[in-house]
A and B are shown apart, each in its own frame.
Chain A
Amino acid sequence: MSDDLRAAHENIFLPREARILHTARPTASEKHFTLQMADGEPLDYVPGQILEVGVMGYGEIPIGLASSPTRKGSFDIVVRTVGRVSTAINSKEVGDSLWVRGPLGHGFDLDSLKGQDVLIVAGGIGLCPTRSLIQYILDRRDEFGRFLLFYGARDPLQLLFTEDRVEWRASKEIDYHETVDRADVTWTGNVGVITTLFHKTTHLDPNTRVVICGPPVMFEFVIKELDQLGIARENIFVDLERRMKCGVGKCGHCQINDKYCCIDGPVFTFAAIQELEEAI
């Protein structure tokens, strides 16, 4: 192939370098990175989109962007140490680089959220990809109606974004509720699964747009609650997790029926996937 032709065709697997500006360890297993593209180009994305994040020699994993595009200059991801690639990523420090591809996939449909009441239900690490939308709404607060956030974690040690949560609790802009499945001696808040939070706030308007992100087991119970509130399924947005290996709709690992989670999602309306076998 001539150099011209080579240049004309983007290699969809070629990652770009991102420098680590800042890191934090919110829990024993998670690491929070603030990154900037090494070439200085801004990352142009929508909340809910993903990046393939990797270390050369180890591999790539799909990670939801955890900051809002309204906050320019850098972007955040949170990586949980679970396997070989995430361990390699989480060994990196300020000044090191990660190799990223993206933004990839279909994020939150902001137009259908604007002007509406929005409830975000985030379980566990599901708070990371939804944090992008949370920040977006807070930064453009006038464009949305009532804003609620329910967040649940297994136990107090698993709770992420301590500084954010302090801010959310104090803020009048967001109706924030949190819970843990199992309390410890320090915990004075709500104990119970995330659906218990539906009883902690005033009645939700049936027109509320709802975003759900969390472990697969959580979806079913949250949707039961939403059904009782009369919230239409086309107004429920789910952020799905799959093995999005290539991120560009080719490798097949994240197939759900004829959809690819990585390119048709990871954000779907519940109405669009409820008929798809094996979706949830």
Chain B
Amino acid sequence: MRQLQEQKASKEQNNNNASNNHSLVTMLHQIQETYNYLPENVLRELAKEKNIPLVDLYRVATFYSLFSLTPKGKHKILTCTGTACHVRGSEKVTEEISRVLGIQPGETTEDGEYSLEAVNCLGACALAPLVVVDEQYHANMTPAQIGALFNGVRKSTCQDKESSHCHCSSVAVGSKEKS
């Protein structure tokens, strides 16, 4: 079933690409948005469609750290380790997130829900230390706040263990925003 969906999605992707002559990076971005990573078979199809040498795709995909060749979690968590964030204690924040989720930066949780990335700078140094959950910016984070942010997540994960579709993090992120 999932394969069928993927095939359908990739066809749509290719049709979109055929109509708009995007640059290579933009095309890879679209694929990454659809699949959460760059699957090999989709890259092969793209190369055939666009008449681009396969290695060129691989070169660009490996050059930018934003592209991933392995599946990423449904929810992306970015912690900033830039100078301003570092000075204001982002290291402790990252450690706390690692502890809560049980993964190191660059890894994905086993259930495929979360992936944690430590990035160099998000360009919002006034909000340091900064944590971005699914493109929602959380400013002035402290390790204590991380606990509150992910507490709801873990609880709802436990409750939703039966159902395969877990949307617990969106709940958690939403609750954080309100506070």
**A in complex with B:** no
Q: Which residues in B have some Cβ–Cβ distance to A below 8 Å?
A: none
